[in-house]
């Protein structure tokens, strides 16, 4: 199992001026910082005895066999890019 803990970031001003396409043309300044609140993400191999191949849990629970069935766009894109050989939770 892999667990990631990432602090939330607060941006007071600067908008999208930290994107290369913007600051290369217009320059940019920003003021942002991390706070002591965190986002946790975990991933593990799903044992093969379940009826579904992948289990994705966020504000909803998705039980799917094909990555194309995943509704959450970010999770679907990551899994399609990585092409895991085993089921994941």
The 10s digit of each residue's pLDDT in 54-87 is 999 999 999 999 999 999 999 999 999 999 999 9
Can you give the pTM of this predicted structure? 0.70
- DSSP letter at 47 equals P
Provide the Cα torsion 60, 81, 4, 17; round to 10°. -100
Q: Quote the CA–CA distance of 89 and 44 in Å, as a whole number.
A: 5
Helix (H, G, I), strand (E, B), or coil: what is residue 82? Answer: helix
Q: Average model confidence (pLDDT) for the chain?
A: 91
CA dihedral 25, 30, 36, 38 (to 10 degrees): -20
CA dist., res. 75 & res. 39, Å (int) = 15
Model confidence pLDDT, tens digit, residues 39-54: 999 999 999 899 999 9
């Amino acid at each position: 199992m892999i667990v990631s803990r990432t602090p939330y970031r607060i941006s007071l001003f600067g908008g999208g001026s930290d994107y290369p396409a913007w600051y290369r043309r217009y320059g940019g300044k920003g003021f942002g910082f991390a706070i002591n609140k965190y986002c946790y993400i975990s991933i593990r191999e799903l044992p093969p005895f379940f009826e579904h191949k992948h289990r994705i849990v966020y504000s909803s629970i998705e039980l799917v066999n094909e990555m194309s069935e995943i509704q959450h766009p970010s999770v679907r894109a990551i899994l399609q890019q990585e092409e895991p050989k085993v089921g994941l939770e």
